[in-house]
Chain A
């Protein structure tokens, strides 16, 4: 093999190798076109059924996301500080900490479920949660558990909609807490 052919072959191999390494990395992460990596949930009941969702929730409120407390990668989640603006169900007031199953990893890659985008600091939402043993709250999964509420009109409409839903017999059978 001539020196020129050898050099050309080595360059081609380097290019192919770099391309292969890039492709393996990108594919292993399973990045979607949008750059987010979905978490695939199996729900125990229909997460679009507001009557069931508000029945299952232990605390429901309008809240403004103050900021991120921390990312918990092992738990695929983010802990947020949220200021309660208005209570829909339960008795939470002031600032609370809410855990959401979504996070940005150390490489900057977003992981979130397909039907619930990660919360945004400064934005206001209707949030449906349960109580964690550590005193924090856990955001339920699904689009109806975190609804953007950026105007007073929308907040009022959402509050009424969910309070009306709470009056319905959802038929939900909730397992008892084991701890």
Chain B
């Protein structure tokens, strides 16, 4: 979790004594134990051309009641996330990677170019879920979530917005 305020020091100090929320997350398989959130927002560098998918995914997570925002980075803020595009003939359509400094979110043009608007939105909403600290869900019972790890091509339904369980995970992390 990226923090930059006094609250962070308090949280980190609590971690030092083994009493942090982060420690509790690590025990739950639906939470990564890391995310791109700094305080109550993710400041991102917008280097992707997939604006419809980006703005759609932003809106779908931001409309949840926990008030965690995605905002463009400015000259006065530090970027928490760098979004960009790449083009490789591989089976990966996108990936999110936590890093020291700004995390990385990349969209593969090789797949995104041929994707429908819905495919791009679904994939981007899923990747933003990682940026908010939610992990992939591998169990069949979570096939009806946006964080389901199974590609829609294999498992049927795909979702373009957080579903009931996704919302519960989000609330657990950010209430």
Contact = CB atoms under 8 A, between A and B. Distances in A.
Interface of A: 16-17, 19-24, 26-30, 32-33, 37-47, 49, 53, 56, 58, 76, 101, 105, 107, 111, 113-114, 130-132, 138, 140-142, 145, 175, 177-179
Contacts of A44: 91-93, 111, 151, 153
B16 A23 contact: yes
B94 A42 contact: yes
A28 B97 contact: no
Interface string B68-80: 0000000000000
Interface in B3-42: 3, 8-9, 11-13, 15-17, 20, 22, 26, 32-35
B90 interface: yes
B157 to A, nearest CB: 14
B33 A24 contact: no
24 contacts: A17-B9, A19-B16, A20-B8, A20-B12, A21-B12, A23-B11, A24-B12, A28-B34, A29-B98, A39-B97, A40-B130, A40-B136, A42-B92, A42-B93, A44-B111, A45-B151, A45-B154, A76-B97, A113-B95, A130-B90, A140-B90, A175-B114, A178-B113, A179-B87
Contacts of B91: 43-45, 47, 53, 56, 140-142, 145
Interface of B: 1-3, 8-9, 11-13, 15-17, 20, 22, 26, 32-35, 87-98, 100, 104, 109-111, 113-114, 123, 126-127, 130, 135-136, 150-151, 153-155
A20 B89 contact: no
Given A23-B15, A49-B154, A178-B109, A30 B89 contact: no
Contacts of A49: 154
Contact of B154 (A29, A46, A114): A46
Contact of A43 (B22, B33, B92): B92
Given A30-B33, A175-B113, A40 B90 contact: no
Contacts of B98: 29-30, 37
Given A21-B12, A42-B123, A114-B136, A138 B89 contact: yes
Contacts of B104: 76
Contacts of A53: 91
B12 to A, nearest CB: 4
A145 B71 CA distance: 37
A56 B113 CA distance: 17
A141 B88 CA distance: 12
